[in-house]
Structure 1
């Protein structure tokens, strides 16, 4: 009997160790607070936990692990296993994916943004670019066209942007500079203070961020159709951590990406955009709409020169820049 009990105890202990060994927890570095922009990561965590019976969990942190501008660096050294960042925060660190931030590409929906981003993420040159940071691109964070919330006199022509200090990153900043604005790049969490203090007079964001970071609490007007472009903010994983997963856990993670993105796009379209109009109305924010002629002039001033400069600069880096640009533009409207 003692032998049987001893064997049972050993078996139970061994099983416990095996179960513990199978458990996996990843730390995920985001910023701000939970919002539409992070719903695909939240959904991914939910799906992974469900599919693995809780054996694989994603521990999501909003700013507790790293600054958003340093998330790629954290991934590179294995400080955490998953993170989100925006390409325009550090164009020199991820030049290949900045093609997706060029102004006036003409992307018309979140679904199209998702499709094109995923195609670019699969390009070997892009994967090699991120591999320098020990990072594997997992999924995009599709965002609509950016527009400006501002204070003071509302602009009604492109000339009104001359000397206008605006928070605008990546290709949007390039576009705003083309019409005489003075773009500055800063973390999303810094913009409300910058707007309140007068450091900037306008902030370029997607609707969810204008609500999440409080610019509409200060803002007096909003451009309805400036639409200079958007930012590209991928979710990446540490490549060593991904390679170290069991087959079952890796499948649970990678096999949940499409469902998480489906959920994200539905949430953004049905939740954020439905709230946006009423949020402006409640605060008496003026809607500024530019004429077709003004918009055509904006595109002419910004689109072609920005694309040509991007291709020249990144060809010199050794990237197949023209090929990446053609990949993106060739998929638009398809």
Structure 2
């Protein structure tokens, strides 16, 4: 059974569950009586982010073309209705029928969310996390929890995580106390190596960096740094990456149920297909973006010192063990990670 079909089966079983307030018709769509639907999609990406256009924008275009204009998505930039972790709540309540978010925002709602977000210091290549999410069941484990609240999540892409900083890092002493914008398990990861990570919404990130509120950040890797203009204020791009992570689409299941079968299938199939296409495209564009940053922005690629990397390695094991203790589904997710990492010779 595919991930999309298993989620649809769960959706059908949960039809009619109480979800709290649902969206008003004006927010959900227009022209439904004529067989046309428009969904507003609250994104966690600011409009300046490349993924607002290259992920959500492309999804909207492909879906509209596939349905001959009958199904349209109206993307909303971060903060138009909500931003950061608040996005999940407005989606669950039906204020909008669809959203994009980071799985790090839903760690309190789904035991295995951190494993879909990506445990830092584990997988080293994009395809490895793709395989774990879509083929080995990580996404399904998250949806076992979210479906109970009337929400379905589908991973949008896998992307690398790399830091940019405003100060050169040559030792653990240089790293210690650095204020790094982060989220999810990455916060614990960076803190274990002595940094002082904190969460800042994407819409406020550039200002936080330029004013010195934070000394660095991760927003994806090179593509994110370029599209968000982070290299204007952070001239040092750090290698190796902190790990692989994901962005995700999330859908209110009552609104999904309200679609006819063709519309529903078009949406889910398009999201599923775009996941693999976008993940591969992203790797190519990462190389282009980094070369551009060196040539056009004068950035310097630096390697994190060995003493910092040693602390990060130990933190990865601790984070995995801690996340696995959240419950049965989290333990299953940890087993998926460990088995794959054993197969790859990482442990």
Correspondence 1:203 to 2:205: no
The alignment partner of 2:89 has SS state of helix
C-alpha contact (below 8 Å) 1:88/1:231 kept by paired residues: no
Among 52, 75, 83, the residue aligned to 2:99? 83
Separation of aligned partners in 1, 2:38 and 2:32: 13
- Which blocks of at least 5 consecutive residues in structure 2 are unaligned? 1-30
Once structures 1 and 2 are overlaid, which stretch shifts more, 264-273 or 25-34? 264-273
**In the alignment, what sits opposite 1:51?**
66
What do the CA deviations read for 1:277-330 (whole angstroms, capped 9, x no partner)? 222332222221136x44651343211111112222x13xxx432211112333
Report matched runs for 1:177-326 at 5 Å: 177-205=191-219, 206-225=221-240, 227-290=241-304, 293-294=306-307, 297-312=310-325, 314-315=326-327, 319-326=328-335
- Tell me the matched-pair count: 307
**In the alignment, what sits opposite 1:136?**
152
Q: Closer, same or farther in 2 for the Cα pair 1:191/1:34, shift >3 Å? A: closer
What do the CA deviations read for 1:44-69 (whole angstroms, capped 9, x no partner)? 22222222211121122223332233
Separation of aligned partners in 1, 2:58 and 2:185: 29
The alignment partner of 2:213 has SS state of coil
> RMSD over aligned Cα, in angstroms?
2.4
**In the alignment, what sits opposite 1:163?**
177
Separation of aligned partners in 1, 2:163 and 2:235: 11
What do the CA deviations read for 1:95-132 (whole angstroms, capped 9, x no partner)? 421123322112312x3332322244543x42121124
Among 98, 101, 105, the residue aligned to 2:122? 105
Separation of aligned partners in 2, 1:274 and 1:148: 17
After TM superposition, give the deviation of residue 90 of structure 1 in Å.
Answer: 4.7
Q: Closer, same or farther in 2 for the Cα pair 1:43/1:255, shift >3 Å? A: same
Q: Closer, same or farther in 2 for the Cα pair 1:19/1:87, shift >3 Å? A: closer
Separation of aligned partners in 1, 2:279 and 2:336: 23
C-alpha contact (below 8 Å) 1:83/1:237 kept by paired residues: yes
After TM superposition, give the deviation of residue 238 of structure 1 in Å.
Answer: 0.6
After TM superposition, give the deviation of residue 331 of structure 1 in Å.
Answer: 3.6
Separation of aligned partners in 2, 1:161 and 1:272: 25
The alignment partner of 1:183 has SS state of coil
C-alpha contact (below 8 Å) 1:178/1:302 kept by paired residues: yes
Correspondence 1:328 to 2:341: no
Q: Closer, same or farther in 2 for the Cα pair 1:245/1:19, shift >3 Å? A: closer
The TM-score, its normalising length taken from structure 2, stands at 0.80
Q: Closer, same or farther in 2 for the Cα pair 1:218/1:127, shift >3 Å? A: same
The TM-score, its normalising length taken from structure 1, stands at 0.83
